Amino acid sequence: MRAYRLISHESPPSIIDCEAPEPKHQELRLKIATCGLNFADLLMMKGTYQETPALPFTLGMEVAGIVDKVGAGVTGFNIGDRVAVFGGQGGLAEFGCFDAARAVKIPDSMGWTDAAALQIAYGTSHVALDHRARLQPDETLLVLGAAGGVGLTAVEIGKLMGATVVACARGADKLQAAKQAGADHLIDASTQDIRAEMKKLGGADVVYDPVGGDQFTAAFRSCNPEARILTIGFASGDVPQIKANHLLVKNISVLGVYWGGYLSFRPEVLTGSLSQLMEWHSQGRITPHVSNILPMERAAEGMELLRTRKSTGKVVITIQDI
């Protein structure tokens, strides 16, 4: 099989020919159709992600495909089932073996591209806004990085949950994507003052932040009493330092969100969330925004789109026709 594999953190990954893996106990082997790219893939390439596998390894965190083989002890799945899996690695290959507990069956109405694009981005936003922040219909949600892979899903889900959604992104094109996802108000981070604009809108009750840096600081200063700030990631490269005494003044809560972390201590949070998302998709209430669909030969180009923030929504790699 072909796989997009990283051999060294000092050199870029490349497509190599290697043996297809065999499923171990409680594992499924998938013939992979599509793989969604994520900012975490870039961190893994540098060796700075909190769960970077040992070298060498195949990149690709979330996949969709057909069950090709079933390992011992697996129940509930059969050869030929269409499934999506958050594997954490191994997705940019023609075949991959994954823990069956991480797999969910794909509705007949869901195509391969949407299946690969939905899990991490929508899952992160749904768990963050519903499980962590307990977003309410009468609240104002400020989404930073609103045109990115997770940002657009936060706009869409926040609107579904009944909140007033303010989308913050850089440039008219990205703001237009956020508007199409349902944003009520738009802030151009490259030309407008986030704090001043939010003051006009009555302040933020919940902040969704995958960016960090100066935007976190501006959003923090625009919070209403008892606001909740969701720290999703730090795409700016700047991890903000929070002064604890500033939290006291308005009784603000800062909540960390690491979607994949729930697999180790409360997996039912993820499975319940994914079930809700699959239902919404079947009902036509959510539609993954995929800005780029590329073949595996252009995986490096897809990674560069993420690194330079030139994509909106998701970048999906097509591995093979199924």
pLDDT per position as a tens digit, 311-322: 888 999 999 999
Residue 280: φ, ψ to 5° = -60, -40
Q: List the 140-143 sheet strands across, edge first.
A: 185-188, 164-169, 140-143, 204-209, 223-231, 253-256
How far is residue 299's CA from residue 318's CA, in Å, rounded to a whole number?
9
pLDDT at position 97 is 98
pLDDT at position 130 is 97
Q: Where are the alpha helices (DSSP H) in 181-308?
A: 194-200, 213-221, 244-250, 262-265, 267-282, 299-307
Mean predicted confidence (pLDDT) in 102-122:
92
pLDDT at position 32 is 98
pLDDT at position 275 is 84
CB 30 within 8 A of CB 100: no
pLDDT at position 122 is 94
| pTM assigned to the model | 0.84
Query: Which residue(s) pair with 164 in the sheet?
Result: 140
* 235 contact partners, CB below 8 Å, separation of at least 6: 39, 145, 148, 210, 211, 212, 309
Mean predicted confidence (pLDDT) in 229-257:
93
pLDDT per position as a tens digit, 42-98: 999 999 998 899 999 999 999 999 999 999 999 999 999 999 999 999 999 999 999
pLDDT at position 272 is 85
pLDDT at position 277 is 92
Q: Tell me which of 236 and 69 has the higher pLDDT.
A: 69
- The H or E element containing residue 151 is helix 151-160
Give the amino acid at 172.
A
Q: Tell me which of 246 and 93 has the higher pLDDT.
A: 93
Q: Where are the beta strands (DSSP E) in 46-136?
A: 57-58, 62-70, 82-86, 95-99, 103-105
Q: Specify burial of residue 268 (Cβ count, 10 A radius: 0-12, 13-18, 19+).
A: exposed
Average pLDDT of the chain, as a whole number:
94
DSSP 247-275: HHHHT-EEEE--GGGHHHH-HHHHHHHHH
Ranges 1-5, 15-19, 224-228, 271-275: which has the least confidence: 271-275
Question: Structural domains in the chain?
Answer: 2-106+289-318 (3.90.180.10), 120-260 (3.90.180.10)
